[in-house]
Amino acid sequence: MTQEYFDVIIVGGGLSGIDAAYHLQTHCRRKSYVILENRDAVGGTWDLFRYPGIRSDSDMYTFGYSFRPWQKNSSISDGESIRTYIRETAEAYGIDRHIRFRHRVKSVSWSSADALWTVEVERGPEREPVRLTCNFLFACTGYYDYAAGYAPAFAGVEKFRGRLVHPQHWPQDLDYTGKRVVVIGSGATAITIIPAMAETAAQVTMLQRSPSYIVSRPSQDAFALWLRRRLPIKLAYAIARWRNALYGLYLYNRCRRQPELIKRWIVGQVRQQLGPGYDVKTHFTPRYNPWDQRMCLAPDADFFHAIKGGKADVVTDEIEAFTETGVRLRSGQELPADIIVTATGLKLQMIGGIKVAVDGKPVNFGERMNFKGVMFSDVPNLASVFGYTNASWTLKSDLICAYVSRLIKYMDRRGYVQCTPRQHDPAVKPQPWVDFSSGYIQRSLDLFPRQGSKKPWKLHQNYLLDTVTLRFGAVDDSALEFTRREETRKAA
């Protein structure tokens, strides 16, 4: 195989991958790079998910790129518009010319002697082996397993004679007009699918074991639109972005400090939507505190309108078994269904499931510590994007991409070819990657690196603190070990 070299290889052509490429080519103009994308289009998650009603659950002023204003009137946007925005951004900045589609990265191995990553790739449907090399590897793969979503082992599922669908692989030929639909789950996917399906289905039932927090907000941001009419587009966008980011941070901190107060407020909003006769205590009062799990969003209260209109309902119970015609519950109730949608969650994986080795030794990320939410202890020249759990993914993604570009530029100016985070501080205690009780997080914690009890190993989940640390903080951190080429050769 021929070995083609790039200074930087970006893995993933989704939201974060395009962001990484923009910052790299803007701030490190002399660096060559390529984006390796497994799919045949940009968009990542937004190209994968095609279920009814797919949309953002964050406002587009914080979910959009910092460098390219979101110009549609909608603040909560549909999946097709987001895909178009990502694709047009790649085209506008010439990033699309650096993307190689149908390139699936299987494994990567680092050589300290050569200061080089060797990247093993399968190209195209024939899975032709391709080998590339680079000095710096940037994983922008997200943390979902694209191959399959999470599906619990339901008793009797093989007996069901209707259609069983997981939202991650939605069949485009599925016609649910006039059909009875049961959606299992109460997370963001279920809250999105139900009002969309209810428009034409005979009846849609959300079957949940326990409730989630659901908040309503307008699909258009009146303040942002007011700004746009009076200010230059980039200035208006920047103000709206900061305003929404700071409000989200304020609300999150209020949830942490005064959980009972915020809980009463959210549940009270639901009661106002559904009326005094609805059993809000059973169906919409969670057992956990706000932001112990991610909140669900109902733009323009569409989810509640579907319930009030009689096209959707909620059942809180546990599944005993599937039957030929639906689902039998622990209470003895049976829910008839023509279609069952298992909106039961996602599987997570580290950097797209790529096998990683450093100097011949496999890397177990569960044994590593996360440096500033960007790199990993004892793994050289590898950065990865993880967005916020309590705010828009892109806010953190944009900070990480800007930081990595600063780091590469710093190394280039000083003649460094290797940068390795080292954790030598005995006062730093390992802690879980994120403090989140959601099932999809808890099921996968062992796969992910730990965070530390103090900086630079501490993950703040705080946009203001991360802005200070990643965008304005010094690159030359004491926990980073920098090496020049002659030093790597001597060590070898």
**pLDDT digits over 5-60, tens only?**
999 999 999 999 999 999 999 999 999 999 999 999 999 999 999 999 999 989 99
Reported confidence tier of residue 151, pLDDT bands at 50, 70, 90: confident
* Residues 22/95, Cβ–Cβ less than 8 Å: yes
- φ, ψ of residue 400 to 5 degrees: the values are -65, -45
Of 315, 342, 369, the last residue of a domain is: 342
Read off the pLDDT band of 145 (50, 70, 90): confident
Buried b (16+ CB within 10 A) or exposed e, 133-150: bbbbbbbbbbbbbbeebb
Look at residue 491 in the predicted model and tell me its pLDDT: 57
Contact by Cβ (8 Å): 144, 348: yes
Give 161: exposed, middle or buried? Use CB within 10 Å, 0-12, 13-18, 19+.
exposed
For 256, the 3-state DSSP assignment is helix
Helix or strand or coil: residue 218? coil
Q: Please tell me the distance from the alpha carbon of residue 383 to that of residue 205, in angstroms, as a whole number.
A: 43
* 109/252 same-domain check: no
Main-chain dihedrals φ then ψ at residue 126, nearest 5 degrees: -80, -5
Both 249 and 380 in a single domain?
no
Domain closes at, from 342, 364, 387? 342
Q: What is the mean pLDDT of residues 326-347?
A: 93
User: Binning pLDDT at 50, 70 and 90, where does residue 487 land?
Assistant: confident
Has residue 197 been placed in a domain?
A: yes
Residue 417 lies in a domain: yes
pLDDT greater than 80 at residue 357: yes
The whole-chain average pLDDT of the chain stands at 93
Is residue 486's pLDDT more than 80? no
Do 80 and 100 form a contact (C-beta atoms < 8 A)?
A: no
Q: What is the mean pLDDT of residues 131-156?
A: 90
pLDDT of residue 243: 96
Assess whether 369 and 238 both reside in one domain.
no
Q: Quick check: 439 pLDDT over 70?
A: no
Residue 95 domain-assigned?
yes
Report the share of the chain in percent with pLDDT over 70: 97
Write the pLDDT tens digit of every residue in 70-107. 999 999 999 999 999 999 999 999 999 999 999 999 99
The pLDDT of residue 443 is above 90: no
Same domain, 304 and 199: yes
Domain of 177 in residue numbering reads as 157-342
Confirm whether 151 is domain-assigned. no
| pLDDT confidence of residue 212 | 94
Q: Region 241-259: what's the mean pLDDT?
A: 94
Phi then psi for residue 225, to 5 deg, are -70, -35
Residue 440 has pLDDT above 80, yes or no: no
Q: Considering the domain boundaries, does residue 291 fall inside one?
A: yes
What's the pTM? 0.94
Contact 319, 329 (CB under 8 A): yes
Amino acid, single-letter form, for residue 254: R
Is residue 182 domain-shared with residue 282, that is, in the same domain?
yes
432 plus 483 within the same structural domain? yes
Does residue 444 sit within a domain? yes
Per the structure, the count of domains in the chain is 2
Which two three-digit tokens encode residue 492?
A: 């070898």
What is the bridge-based pairing of β-strands 99-100 and 103-111? Answer: unpaired
Together in a domain, 185 and 329: yes
Task: Output DSSP code: residue 475.
Answer: S
For residues 393 and 482, membership in a common domain is answered with: yes
Q: Would strands 451-452 and 430-431 be described as parallel, antiparallel, or unpaired?
A: antiparallel
Whether residue 319 lies inside any domain: the answer is yes
Report whether pLDDT(195) > 80.
Answer: yes
Which is nearest to 50 in space by CA: 163, 206, 174, 143? Answer: 174
Report residue 484 as tokens: 């020049």
The SS3 of residue 109 is: strand
| Segment holding 12, helix H or strand E | none
Please indicate, yes or no, whether residues 474 and 326 belong to a single structural domain of this protein: no
Nearest to 133 by CA among 257, 280, 33: 33
**Are residue 209 and residue 353 in the same domain, yes or no?**
no
Q: Which of 273-277, 289-293, 464-468 has the lowest mean pLDDT?
A: 289-293
pLDDT at 444 exceeding the cut of 90: no
Confidence check: pLDDT of 490 > 70:
no
10 Å Cβ neighbour count for 181? Answer: 24
According to DSSP, the β-strands at 382-384 and 128-139 are parallel
Residues 324 and 356 in one domain: no
Picking from 342, 360, 384, the residue at the C-terminal end of a domain is: 342
Q: What is the pLDDT at residue 198?
A: 97
Q: Is residue 152 part of a domain?
A: no
Residue 492, pLDDT above cutoff 60: no
Q: Cis peptide leading into 171, omega within 30 of 0?
A: no
Q: Which residues pair with 81 in a beta bridge?
A: none
Question: CATH no. for residue 269?
Answer: 3.50.50.60
Based on the fold, state whether residues 54 and 131 are members of the same structural domain. Answer: yes
